[in-house]
């Protein structure tokens, strides 16, 4: 089996790196910036458990032709680049190639299927956070699994991922899992605007209250749309806003698993904003805003976060203390 990681950024390099280090034939396709790192330093993947795997000479390409030999393609590009990635892959893939969207958001699979009608395109979800540390090093900062839509074509992947130390679960319907992950990802914009590592941000009640606002709006929008988010954390999604607004001491005790993360870990949106790259805010908080509008509910806190992140992308304010961000999300 040959696996292609298409859009090999932090998630793709970590996932593909574990696969390649444990014997799977992997070809990475991504940007020249990371290709240069891996050529000079190899590829090293580490995790919060202390494991370290290394690939001395990963095969890292910068053009889509290398995807032609793949049996399975793991798409890990940002959501805004999905259509472009699909157009690039279309002339390369053999009919029947399995394509799994390991991306944020709810609609990437639809976009891929539109452009790849002869491929077997399946939705997936990444339940962990990865930090790029430079020089070809990628660190998984928190526990979590890869989830995908159940399909006979993925049966052969389970032992491959298990050998690589990647938790891999299949679901008859991934919609609930994706919607639950989206509720968690609503914090990405808050983390980006805080300027803090995740653990420090979550340790401050005002930032958590911001997140609770966005989650309540998300839960209302999902309920109006007839979508039931799955339980992917110890608490059911509907209980999360109450936990988030609890005093710091209560939250710290009750959310020990959520806080068991690398002290330096940040969301990908935080890193994108720091490095001047476009963020995925339209596919996270913007998704809730659009869903609410379609189904007659309101999501003003999510809409305001979209505005603030886009303003920061365009040179506006990037650092918001928790109390000021909360005020910005609740002002009428």
Residues 131 and 186 in one domain: no
Cβ neighbours of residue 180 closer than 8 Å, sequence gap 6 or more: 229, 230, 231, 232, 233, 237
Residue-level pLDDT, tens digit, the chain, 332 residues: 999 999 999 999 999 999 999 999 999 999 999 999 999 999 999 998 889 999 999 999 999 999 999 999 999 999 999 999 999 999 999 999 999 999 998 999 999 999 999 999 999 999 888 988 899 999 998 888 999 999 998 988 999 999 999 999 999 989 999 999 999 999 999 999 999 999 999 999 999 999 999 999 999 999 999 999 999 888 899 999 999 999 999 998 888 777 777 788 889 899 999 989 999 999 999 999 999 999 999 999 999 999 999 999 999 999 999 999 999 999 86
Residues 162 and 293 in one domain: no
Q: What SS3 class is residue 4?
A: strand
User: What domain count does the chain have?
Assistant: 2
Q: Which of 159, 137, 173, 92 is nearest to 264 (CA)?
A: 137
Residues 208 and 250 in one domain: yes
Domain range for 205: 176-330
d(C-alpha 247, C-alpha 258), whole Å: 16
Residues 21 and 166 in one domain: yes
Residues 42 and 155 in one domain: yes
The single residue listed with the structure tokens 């009750």 is 254
Residues 99 and 207 in one domain: no
Residues 234 and 265 in one domain: yes
| Contact call for residues 202 and 252 (beta carbons, < 8 A) | no
Adjacency order of strands within the sheet including 168-171: 59-61, 25-29, 2-6, 72-75, 98-102, 120-126, 146-149, 168-171
């Amino acid at each position: 089996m040959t696996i292609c990681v298409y859009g090999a950024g932090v998630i793709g390099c970590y996932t593909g790196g574990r696969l390649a280090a444990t014997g799977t034939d992997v070809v990475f396709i991504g940007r020249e910036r990371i290709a240069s790192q891996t050529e000079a330093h190899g590829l090293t993947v580490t995790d919060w458990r202390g494991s370290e795997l290394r690939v001395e000479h990963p095969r890292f390409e910068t053009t889509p032709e290398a995807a032609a030999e793949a049996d399975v393609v793991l798409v890990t590009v940002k959501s805004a680049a999905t259509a472009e990635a699909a157009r690039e892959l279309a002339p390369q893939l053999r009919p029947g190639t399995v394509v799994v969207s390991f991306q944020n958001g709810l609609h990437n699979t639809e976009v891929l299927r539109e452009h790849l009608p002869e491929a077997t395109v399946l939705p997936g979800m990444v339940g962990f956070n990865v930090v790029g540390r430079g020089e070809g090093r990628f660190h998984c900062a928190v526990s979590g699994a890869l989830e995908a839509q159940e399909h006979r074509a993925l049966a052969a992947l389970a032992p491959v991922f298990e050998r690589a130390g990647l938790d891999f679960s299949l679901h008859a319907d991934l919609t609930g899992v994706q919607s639950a992950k989206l509720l968690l990802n609503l914090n990405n914009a808050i983390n980006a605007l805080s300027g803090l590592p995740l653990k420090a941000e979550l340790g401050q009640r005002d930032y958590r209250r911001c997140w609770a606002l966005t989650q309540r709006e998300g839960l209302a929008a999902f309920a109006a749309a007839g979508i039931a988010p799955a339980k992917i954390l110890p608490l059911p999604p509907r209980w999360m806003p109450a936990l988030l607004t609890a005093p710091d001491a209560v939250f710290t005790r009750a959310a020990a698993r959520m806080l068991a993360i690398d002290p330096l870990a940040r969301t990908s949106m935080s890193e994108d904003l720091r490095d001047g790259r476009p963020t995925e805010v339209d596919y996270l908080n913007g998704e809730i805003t659009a869903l609410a509008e379609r189904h007659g509910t309101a999501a003003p806190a999510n809409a305001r976060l979209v505005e603030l992140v886009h303003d920061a992308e365009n040179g506006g304010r990037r650092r918001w203390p928790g109390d000021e961000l909360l005020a910005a999300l609740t002002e009428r």
